Amino acid sequence: MAQSKKKWVAFKSNATVPGDVMGEDNDQKMQVGEPVQLPESYANHVVQDGFAAFCDAPKKTAPKKSGGGQSAEEKAAAEAAQKLAAAQQAVSDADLHLKSVAGTADEGEAREALAAAEAELDALQSAS
């Protein structure tokens, strides 16, 4: 399965991607919010089904000359920012889904999903 075009996505929950999709022998376990580059068709599939959201490629940072890396506080702040961004994307995705199913039998379920995503975002915002 040789596909040249790829997209970056971040999964909304821990997920397993089949090895053949990744071009590897073994399935790959993905962590919440961690950017991963997938073949375009599979990336579109997991985003459309609500398992992931499109994201930017991870930024490459130059290694620090002193101290040898991020402090625990810096790591916690970066992780909190990443969770907040993922929650904001989840609200945006849920809102778009609700708009797409408005007036159908799926509207109630979409409203519940939006409310849950908004509650999670509110909890993260009040914690920071």
Q: How confident is the model at residue 3 (pLDDT cuts 50, 70, 90)?
A: very low
pTM exceeds 0.85, yes or no? no
Nearest 5°: CA angle at 120, between 118 and 121? Answer: 65
* Dihedral (CA of 33, 38, 40, 45) sign: negative
What mean pLDDT is predicted for residues 68-72? 70
Q: What SS3 string covers 40-97?
A: HHHHHHHHHCCCEEECCCCCCCCCCCCCCCCCHHHHHHHHHHHHHHHHHHHHHHHHHH
Residue 1 has pLDDT above 70, yes or no: no
Which pair of structure tokens corresponds to residue 64? 């620090």
Q: What digits encode the pLDDT tens for the residues 57-66?
A: 888 766 555 5
Domain coordinates of the chain in residue numbers?
A: 6-54, 72-127
Q: How confident is the model at residue 2 (pLDDT cuts 50, 70, 90)?
A: low
- Report percent pLDDT > 90 for the chain: 30
Which candidate, 78, 77, 75, 79, places its Cα nearest to that of 67? Answer: 75
- Supply the pLDDT for residue 44: 92
Average pLDDT, the chain: 85
Q: What digits encode the pLDDT tens for the residues 11-40?
A: 998 889 998 888 889 999 988 888 999 999
